[in-house]
A and B are shown apart, each in its own frame.
Chain A
Amino acid sequence: MDPIYQALVDIVGQEHVSNQPEELFIYSYDLGTTEPHRPDYAVTPRSTEEIQEIVKLANREKVPVVPLGGGLSLAGLAVPFRGGIALDLKRMDSILEVNEKARYAVVECGVSQGQLTSYLERNYPHLTHSEPGAPPTATIAGNVAIHGQGDLAQPYGFNSDMVNGLEIVLPTGEVCKFGSCSIGSGWFTQHPLPDVGLFLGWSGTTGIITKVSIRLFPSKKIRGVGQFVVEDEELVPEIMYKLTHTQMTEDIVAFSQAVPPFASGLQHFTINIAADSEKELEFKQEIIWDDTLGEYIRSGAGGFLGFRSGLQRPQVSKTSDWRKGGGFEYVGSIMPVDTYPECYRRGREISERHDIPYTVLGRCVGTAHAMMFSWTYAFNRADPETVRQAREALHETDDLVLELGGTIWKPGLYGQKLVMERLDPNTLNLMKKIKQMLDPNGIMNPGNWEVS
C-alpha cells in the first residue's frame, strides 16, 4: 500500500481520495492547449483542518500540491506539471455568511460563481456580486487567486479589489487570516491593517485560500444590456472614455470576431445598465444613447442595436467555439484602453496567419483605467496540428501584450517567463524571497511563478 495514499485516506476518508488512473486523467488537463500531466493523487477535502493536514503531509513527503477550483482558468494554471496532489476544493462549498447591510459574503473556497448568484437571487435579490463571464462552475476563490474581473468591473474594478478578508492555509500548514476578521471583527474590510497581501494573483503558489469575503453590490430591479456598434476600431477608446464619464454603466465590453459573419470587421459594444424603475432606466438610456452616443449615430459612424432587460450569463463562452472540435484558449491581458485598435488589428493578423477565425474582446476595468483584452484561438481537440497552431498563436500574443505596453493576465508558463524576464530585478528578488520563506519545500503549484 502506498503510504501517501494511505495517509490521505486517513485525512479525508477513502471516498475522497483517488490514485486511480481514470480519475487522475480527469485532473491531468484543462480546456486549453497545455500538455496534460497527471497528478499522483486527487483529493477532495471538506475542511480547512483537512487541508492543513494534507499540506503538512505534502511537506513531509515533498510532494507538490495543486489547488483546483472550477479548473476553468485555462493556460494550464492548475495542471499538475510535477505530479503530486491535485487538491480539488469543490466540496468546500458553504456560503458561510451574507451581511446584508455591510454588503459582503463570506464563502468557502469551493463556492462557485453560479452558486453565489443563485443564492443571492433567491435570498437577497437586491444584492449581487461581480460575476465573471466564465462558466458558472468557476469558483470565487479561484477567480480572485488570478485577479479576475466580472460584470461589475466597470464601476468597481478587479474582483480581487473586492476582497474584504481571506483565510489562508500557508504552504507550511498554518492558518492565517487577513483583514478585519483577523482581529476577531466581522469580515467587512481588508484595510487598514499592515498589508501582507501575498496571495492574490499568485495562482495558488503561496497558499490555499480556504475562505474569502467578497463585496456585494446593489442589484437593481432592472438589469439589462444595450448594444452599440461601430466600424472604426479607432473610436473604441474614446467611446469607452465617454461612457465611463457618465458613471451610469455596470459593464462595458467591446468585441469583434470573424464568426458569425455579422460581427466581422465591426466593433460591437455590450453596455450593461441597471435601474430600479422605468423612470431611472429611461433617464440613463437618454444620457447614454442619445446624449453620449448620439453624435456617432447622427454622423452615421455608430449604430444603436437596442436595449434588452435581463443579463445573459455567461457571455463570453458562446463566442469561442466556432471551429469543429470545440477547443479554445485565450490570452488575457490588462492593457491601457487606448491600445484597443492596435490590439484588435494585430490580433486579427495573428489569427489570420494561423488560419484561425479571429475573436477579440476588451472589457473596461474601472473608469477606463484599464481594460482586460483577450485574444481567443479556437482549435480542434482531435487534431494536434490545430492545437499546435493555436499554441503558437497564444505565444505570439503573449509577446504582443508586452510589446504593446500591457501586462499578461493569468499567464501560463510561457507568459510567466516573459513577464519575469522584464520584471524589475529587485521586485523579482523580493518575489523569490517571499516564495522561499512561505514555501520552503516548493510544494505549492510548482512550475508556476518560479523565480530561478
Chain B
Amino acid sequence: MYELKFNESECLSCATQDCLTRCQYMDIDRDTAKAEILKIARGEDSFVLHDCVTCYACEEYCPVNNHPFYLIVEKQEELDVPPLPRPLIRRGIQMGIPFRGEPVIDEINGQTLDMGAFADLMYLIQGKLFEGLPVISTDPRKMFHYFCQLMYLHYGRASVIKERLPGIIQTIAKHNVTEVICFHDECYGTYTSYCPAVGIEVPFKSIHFFEFLYNRLNELKGEITPVNLKVAYQRPCSSRLSSDKHHFVRDIFDLIGAEYVEREYVDENALCCGGTIQGQRREGSRKRTADVQKRNIEDIKNAGAEICVFNCPACYTTMGRLVAQNGIRPVFMSDLCRLAIGEKPAGWR
C-alpha cells in the first residue's frame, strides 16, 4: 500500500554516484556504483544487497534525496537477501510487539517530548531543560506502542515498518499533539524522512531533540558556564536521515563551551557504532565490528577528546564501555547540556 518513491532517472543523470562511491564499508568506483544502483532499482540482485552493513549513510550522501538506502532495504526483502540470520530477524520483529496492555492516553494539546522505545531512560530528561514539558511514552511496559519501527531497516524488513507504523502514529496523535520533540534521532528520521518517502501521513510536526536542546539552552543562556571539555560525538545511523539538523551538534558544543575535536571519522565520515554489523550473516562480521570500533576509538583518542557524546542509546550500549575502557568518558548529550547549566546528571562524579 505504501510505496517508496525512488526515481531511477535521477541515477541515470547523477554526476557523482555518491551513494555508493562514498560508502565506507565497500570500495566501489563510479561505473560500478552506477551499474549496481540501477540493477537494484530494477529489482536485480547486486553484491551491494549482500554486503551493505546498513549504516544508513547513503541516505545522506545522495545529493538529490533519492533514498538509496530505503531502496536497498526494499530490495533485500523482495529478493530475499536478509542482512541478518533468520533468528535475529524474527527476534527483532517480535521485540517490537507490545505485551503489557494499552498505554494511558493523556491529552497534551500542544508540544510534547516522545521517548519512543526508551521510556526506561527518563533519567536523561531531568532538570531545568525539560521543566514543564509534557512527555509521552514514559512507561517501559508500554513503550512499544510508541516504537517508531525504523530499526527494521537494519533487518531488511520495510514491510514490518509499513505495517506497524501507521498504528504507532495514531497512538501518538491520540494525545492530541501538535509538535513532537523526538528523543531519538530514529523517531525524527521516521516521521520526517521515511514517512514522506513511502507516503505515510504524519499529522504532527516533529522537532529534532538537538534543536530543542539548543533552543532551551539559549533560553537559559545566562546560566551557562562553559564546560571546557574536549568532546567527540558518536553520530548514530539514523542521524543520516536528518542531516539538515546535524549542525545543531556543533551549535550546542559552541554554546556550552565544549571543544568539538578535529578527527577523521566525523560528520559525514562518521563510523557506525558496530551494533548492527556484529550480528550480520556476512563472513567475518564480528571481526569487522571490532575493527570499525577500534578505528573509531583510536581516532577519538588521537584527537584528544576527553568525552564521547552519545544521543543514541543503542550506540551507547555498544560503545560506551569500550570508550570508557580507553579513558574517555561516555556521556549523553542531554547530560552534557545539564552540566553546562550547573546541574549534576545522575551518576556524574
Contacts and interface: CB of A to CB of B under 8 A. Distances in A.
Interface of A: 229-231, 259-266, 282, 285-286, 289-290, 294, 296-306, 308-309
B94 interface: yes
A359 B139 CA distance: 24
Contacts of B283: 294, 298
B180 interface: no
Given A297-B285, A300-B281, A305 B85 contact: no
A296 B286 CA distance: 14
B86 interface: yes
A261 B281 contact: no
Contacts of B87: 229-231, 266, 301-303
A300 B86 contact: yes
Given A261-B94, A265-B90, A297 B281 contact: yes
A290 B289 CA distance: 13
A262 B87 CA distance: 10
Interface string B79-97: 0001011111011101101
Interface centre among B92, B281, B284, B321 (most CB of A within 10 A): B281
B97 A303 contact: no
Interface of B: 82, 84-88, 90-92, 94-95, 97, 99, 275, 278-279, 281, 283-287, 290, 318, 321
A263 B94 CA distance: 8
Given A290-B287, A303-B279, A304-B286, A229 B88 contact: yes
A436 B117 CA distance: 62
Given A260-B99, A301-B86, A303-B87, 19 more contacts: A229-B87, A229-B88, A261-B95, A262-B94, A263-B91, A296-B85, A297-B85, A297-B285, A298-B281, A300-B85, A301-B87, A302-B85, A303-B84, A303-B86, A303-B279, A304-B285, A305-B279, A306-B275, A309-B321
A263 B321 CA distance: 26
Contacts of B321: 308-309
Nearest to B282: A298
14 contacts: A261-B94, A261-B99, A282-B290, A285-B286, A286-B287, A298-B281, A298-B283, A303-B84, A303-B86, A303-B87, A304-B286, A305-B279, A306-B275, A308-B321
A364 to B, nearest CB: 20
B100 to A, nearest CB: 9
A305 B88 contact: yes
B99 A259 contact: yes
Contacts of B287: 286, 290
B99 A229 contact: no
A128 to B, nearest CB: 21
A288 to B, nearest CB: 10
Contact of B85 (A261, A265, A301): A301
A220 to B, nearest CB: 16
Given A296-B85, A298-B281, A304-B278, A290 B286 contact: yes
Contacts of B281: 297-298, 300
Nearest to B287: A290
Contact of A261 (B82, B86, B97, B290): B97
A406 B318 CA distance: 41
B167 to A, nearest CB: 16
Nearest to A304: B279
A440 B90 CA distance: 59
B149 to A, nearest CB: 14
Contacts of A302: 85, 87
Contact of A266 (B91, B99, B284): B91
A345 B293 CA distance: 40
B94 A300 contact: no
A90 B295 CA distance: 53
Nearest to B321: A309
Contacts of A262: 91-92, 94-95, 97
Nearest to B275: A306
Nearest to A285: B286
A305 B82 CA distance: 16
A296 B84 CA distance: 12
Nearest to B82: A300
A297 B288 CA distance: 14
A259 B90 CA distance: 14
A303 B88 contact: yes
Nearest to B88: A303
B94 A264 contact: yes
Contacts of B94: 261-266
A80 B92 CA distance: 47
A396 B290 CA distance: 48
Nearest to B84: A303
Listed from nearest, the 8 A-B pairs whose CB atoms lie closest are A303-B88, A303-B85, A262-B95, A261-B97, A231-B87, A229-B87, A261-B94, A300-B85
Contacts of B290: 282
Which one of B82, B91, B318 has the highest number of Cβ atoms from chain A below 10 Å of its Cβ? B91
Contact of B91 (A229, A297, A308): A229
A301 B90 CA distance: 11
Contacts of A261: 94-95, 97, 99
A306 B275 CA distance: 8
Contacts of A309: 321
Given A261-B97, A297-B285, A300-B85, A306 B279 contact: yes
Contacts of A230: 87
A289 B288 CA distance: 13
B315 to A, nearest CB: 13
Contacts of B279: 303-306
Nearest to A267: B87
A226 to B, nearest CB: 10
Contacts of A282: 290
A385 B112 CA distance: 43
A289 B286 contact: yes
A286 B285 CA distance: 12
B160 to A, nearest CB: 13
A266 B85 CA distance: 13
A27 to B, nearest CB: 34
Contact of A231 (B90, B95, B275, B286): B90
Contacts of B84: 303
A285 B92 CA distance: 24
Contacts of A298: 281, 283
A230 B284 CA distance: 19
A320 to B, nearest CB: 16
Contacts of B284: 290
Contacts of A301: 85-87
A315 B323 CA distance: 26
A224 B285 CA distance: 20
A379 to B, nearest CB: 18
A231 B86 contact: yes
Contacts of B88: 229, 303, 305
B88 to A, nearest CB: 3
A357 to B, nearest CB: 9
